[in-house]
């Protein structure tokens, strides 16, 4: 039984530019064959039971030849697998997607093409250069810029290119920049024609240079512009100073490392131009035994207060609650306390009212709220249930008992270290491409140090470290590192606000 192949364009770099359809097929794939020029964050969306095959294709250095890639996707399809051939940009714009589709068609294998956003249009757009404009250009030509300069005859019609009035976009032209400029000038293009070269377009390290046709190659050499880059030739380049928007964002150029399992809540940083790199150092899983939580659920009617300290606590508690054949009506008369507005919002999604959200979003704030009478006149005679992580601070349970209350602490979930390798992240850190590393718990930090092994301390030198809470801060400082950012409130929202304020002050 033959499988099916989806040849998907992943876009040029900004993870938000992958299409909805491309993401849909990526998630259902059993085999993913992917290239180098991708934002690796897109791989987080893949079914992690899938087989990953790295095809390389980086600046002429290919891990697999094109024939090997063709053969691989054919063989996997013949095994009956669903395959996503994930390519940077658009698969049919100098991406050899046509050759791969031909190989599949020749074997009678079903395939679909999912177009992607090509760097030919995306990089200029992020640099503030419209490729067409009524006052400047009404046509567009896209040309490969990697042609062998030693060839006696060129496959490019330089005369037609030079004499045309429209915009020209050269892809992969950096190594041949001097040759491209010379050929255009020799064939009649004005040496003063505006030119832009955009490296790593749509990414946080996007770099754009602008000059004339006669001087751009020299400037590119001075500015150390290397592949991958897009070259735009034409009068539309003049609009960049007015229309550049991406590089004007306040957090442009910042890369923020997120070490929790999901990066929800960090969208505000992306809106301001930062790139969020998700590298989870914890994985949230059920407890090894449900015995504690089951015992508490079986006597749920005996509690006066149910306390949730995180969305994970809510999620795992109710999952088990319903599995034990209980329903929301069984919580009648029990008051609900939430640490933080986000957790409260998650509780409300179950149709449950939250009775108390302490002003301080930590154990000390919780103790203060109850001790000051917000629980209805003290703790004596009150019974509390606290479903939480396997390893957590004992401040609140101990204080409840001191004040005469009774409390059952039940493990609802565990945070474990996932099986991940940090090769790409290690390279980013070594190259100074991570601006801020965020740690939302001591576990996220300690697991990061374990994953990075002996390199960990050196890799974080020079990186601003943002943490939530004093416990996480102590873990960082114990390792010999300095905490740069720690908000007063122990919430993601407060951390984001502090990162934005710190970034504004450190520019």
From 14, 172, 189, 449, the catalytic residue: 172
Q: Which two tokens stand for residue 127?
A: 């640099």
Residues 6+ apart with CB under 8 A from 380: 403, 404, 405
Q: Which two tokens stand for residue 361?
A: 């979003």
Residues β-bridged to residue 365: none
Cα–Cα dist 474/478, whole Å: 6
What sign for the dihedral angle of Cα 181, 187, 193, 196?
negative
Cα–Cα dist 186/418, whole Å: 58
DSSP codes of every residue in 118-153: -HHHHHHHHTT--S-BTTTBS-EEEEE----TT-SS
172 is catalytic: yes
From 4, 14, 57, 399, the catalytic residue: 57
Please count the other Cβ atoms lying within 10 Å of the Cβ belonging to residue 248.
9
Mapped onto helix, strand or coil, the DSSP state of residue 206 is coil
35 is catalytic: yes
CB 131 within 8 Å of CB 238 = no
Residues β-bridged to residue 231: 170, 197
CA 308 to mean position of chain CA atoms: 28
Residue 143: HSE in the Cβ half-sphere, 13 Å Cα cutoff: 26
Cα–Cα dist 103/107, whole Å: 7
From 35, 87, 231, 449, the catalytic residue: 35
224 is catalytic: no
Cα–Cα dist 417/83, whole Å: 29
Q: What is the set of active-site residues?
A: 35, 57, 172
């Amino acid at each position: 039984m033959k499988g099916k192949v989806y040849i998907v364009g992943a876009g040029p770099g900004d993870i938000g530019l992958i299409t909805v359809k491309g993401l849909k097929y990526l998630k259902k794939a059993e085999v993913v064959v992917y290239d180098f020029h991708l934002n690796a964050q897109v791989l987080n969306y893949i079914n992690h039971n899938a087989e990953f095959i790295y095809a390389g294709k980086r600046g002429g250095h290919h891990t697999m030849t094109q024939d090997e890639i063709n053969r691989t996707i054919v063989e996997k399809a013949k095994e009956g697998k669903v395959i996503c051939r994930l390519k940077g940009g658009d698969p049919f714009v100098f991406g050899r997607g046509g050759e791969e589709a031909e190989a599949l068609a020749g074997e009678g294998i079903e395939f679909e093409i999912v177009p992607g956003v090509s760097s030919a249009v995306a990089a200029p757009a992020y640099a503030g250069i419209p490729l067409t404009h009524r006052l400047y250009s009404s046509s567009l030509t896209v040309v490969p810029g990697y042609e062998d300069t030693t060839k006696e005859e060129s496959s490019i019609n330089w005369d037609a290119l030079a004499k045309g009035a429209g915009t020209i976009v050269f892809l992969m032209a950096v190594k041949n920049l001097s040759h491209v400029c010379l050929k255009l000038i020799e064939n009649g293009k004005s040496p003063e024609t505006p030119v832009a070269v955009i490296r790593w377009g749509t990414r946080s390290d996007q770099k754009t240079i602008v000059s004339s046709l006669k001087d751009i190659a020299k400037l590119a050499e001075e500015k150390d512009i290397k592949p991958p880059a897009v070259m735009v030739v034409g009068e539309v380049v003049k609009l960049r100073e007015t229309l550049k928007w991406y590089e004007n964002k306040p957090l442009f150029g910042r890369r923020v490392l997120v070490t929790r399992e999901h990066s929800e809540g960090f969208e505000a940083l992306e809106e301001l131009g930062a790139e969020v790199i998700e590298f989870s150092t914890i994985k949230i899983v059920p407890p090894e035994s449900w015995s504690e939580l089951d015992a508490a659920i079986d006597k749920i009617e005996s509690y006066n207060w149910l306390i949730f300290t995180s969305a994970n606590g809510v999620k795992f508690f109710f999952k088990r609650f319903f599995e034990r054949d209980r329903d929301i009506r069984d919580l009648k008369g029990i008051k609900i306390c939430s640490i933080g507005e986000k957790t409260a919002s998650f509780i409300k999604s179950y149709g449950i009212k939250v009775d108390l959200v302490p002003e301080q979003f930590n154990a000390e704030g919780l103790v203060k709220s109850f001790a000051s009478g917000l629980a209805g006149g003290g703790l004596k005679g009150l019974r509390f249930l606290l479903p939480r992580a396997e390893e957590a601070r004992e401040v609140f349970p101990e204080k409840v008992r001191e004040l005469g209350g009774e409390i059952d602490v039940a493990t609802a979930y565990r945070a474990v270290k996932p099986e991940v390798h940090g090769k790409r992240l290690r390279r980013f850190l070594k190259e100074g491409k991570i601006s801020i590393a965020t740690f939302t718990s001591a576990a996220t930090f300690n697991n990061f140090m374990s994953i990075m092994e002996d390199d960990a301390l050196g890799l974080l030198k020079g990186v601003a470290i943002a943490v939530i809470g004093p416990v996480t801060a102590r873990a960082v400082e114990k390792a010999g590192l300095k905490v740069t950012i720690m908000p007063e409130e122990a919430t993601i929202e407060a951390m984001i606000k502090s990162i934005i304020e710190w970034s504004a002050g450190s520019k």
